[in-house]
């Protein structure tokens, strides 16, 4: 399923993934069994680092699910570590230009196409595949979430070797004038930016994706034309579920009169 997700995204078939910010291999393993097309381990705003990627990607891959890593920044060492840990795809944040996207692609490919350093972690070279074949098994995704990135999105999407662009909705909304996440005054500018990003990706023949907060939002964005979505994250869902259960439990507790006062 891992390789099929790569092929589906390259073919711009719609896919649904999940976002993980917790540094938990067990959580990644359980999430991979739910049925999502891919799991993203967040190395930028999440709690994971190389050790977390190494631990989490193993059970994700074993479940037959594609495992992606959002690296902390557009640096070759982060990209190389994510791929050495076994990522089927990299998501690179805060990309501002086509030149930067070109360097990201090069950092993810072995020579002569790129400058990725060989590290025998999970590259599995024992099957005799050429390195160029392995280059083709990796998805290269850059995030459009800055004013500069939006201004140059058509040129970014046209970069050879790039497979997809991905929207960080909060940062993008701030880039187009929002004063805070969800600012209604920036809604029209935000939706216009999304339309421009989707159109640029479609024109270049690559996939477009976005992070969403719920299944309802995921269905809406897919219907609008996005190729793939990543739904919410394990930390937010854990907190929502815990708060919901607590509220229900407290609502059902009988009131007791203690020492003349009323309390739960």
Picking from 47, 56, 6, the residue whose alpha carbon sits closest to that of residue 238 is 47
Asked about 237 being catalytic, the answer comes back as no
Question: How far is the first Cα of the chain from the last one, in angstroms, to the nearest whole number?
Answer: 50
With the C-alpha atoms ordered 74, 78, 82, 84, is the resulting torsion angle positive or negative? positive
Calpha distance 142→87 (Å, rounded) = 15
Calpha distance 227→13 (Å, rounded) = 6
How far does CA 19 lie from the centroid of its chain? 6
Helix (H, G, I), strand (E, B) or coil at 199: helix
Calpha distance 9→158 (Å, rounded) = 16
Picking from 20, 29, 2, 15, the residue whose alpha carbon sits closest to that of residue 166 is 15
Calpha distance 18→38 (Å, rounded) = 7
Calpha distance 190→170 (Å, rounded) = 10
Token pair 């607590």 is found at: 246
Per annotation, catalytic residue among 7, 45, 237, 245? 45
Instruction: Write out the catalytic residue numbers.
Output: 45
């Amino acid at each position: 399923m891992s390789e099929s997700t790569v092929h589906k995204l390259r073919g711009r078939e719609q896919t649904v993934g999940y976002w993980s910010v917790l540094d938990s291999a067990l959580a990644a393993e359980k999430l991979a069994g739910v049925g999502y097309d891919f799991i993203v381990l967040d190395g930028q705003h999440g709690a994971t680092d190389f050790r977390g990627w190494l631990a989490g990607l193993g059970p994700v891959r074993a479940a037959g699910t594609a495992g992606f890593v959002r690296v902390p920044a557009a640096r070759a060492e982060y990209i190389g570590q994510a791929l050495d840990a076994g990522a089927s795809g990299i998501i690179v944040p805060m990309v501002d230009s086509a030149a930067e996207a070109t360097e990201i692609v090069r950092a993810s490919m072995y020579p002569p196409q790129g400058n990725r350093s060989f590290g025998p972690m999970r590259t599995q070279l024992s099957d005799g595949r050429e390195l160029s074949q392995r280059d083709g098994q990796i998805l290269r995704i850059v995030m459009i979430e800055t004013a500069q990135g939006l201004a140059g999105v058509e040129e970014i999407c046209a970069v050879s070797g790039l497979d997809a662009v991905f929207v960080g909705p909060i940062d993008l909304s701030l880039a187009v004038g929002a004063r805070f996440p969800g600012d209604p005054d920036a809604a029209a500018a935000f939706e216009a930016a999304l339309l421009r990003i989707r159109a640029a990706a479609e024109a270049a023949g690559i996939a477009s994706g976005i992070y969403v907060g719920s299944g309802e939002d995921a269905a809406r964005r897919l219907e609008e034309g996005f190729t793939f979505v990543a739904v919410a994250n394990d930390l937010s869902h854990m907190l929502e579920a815990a708060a919901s259960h607590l509220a229900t439990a407290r609502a059902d507790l009988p009131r007791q009169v203690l020492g003349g006062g009323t309390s739960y």
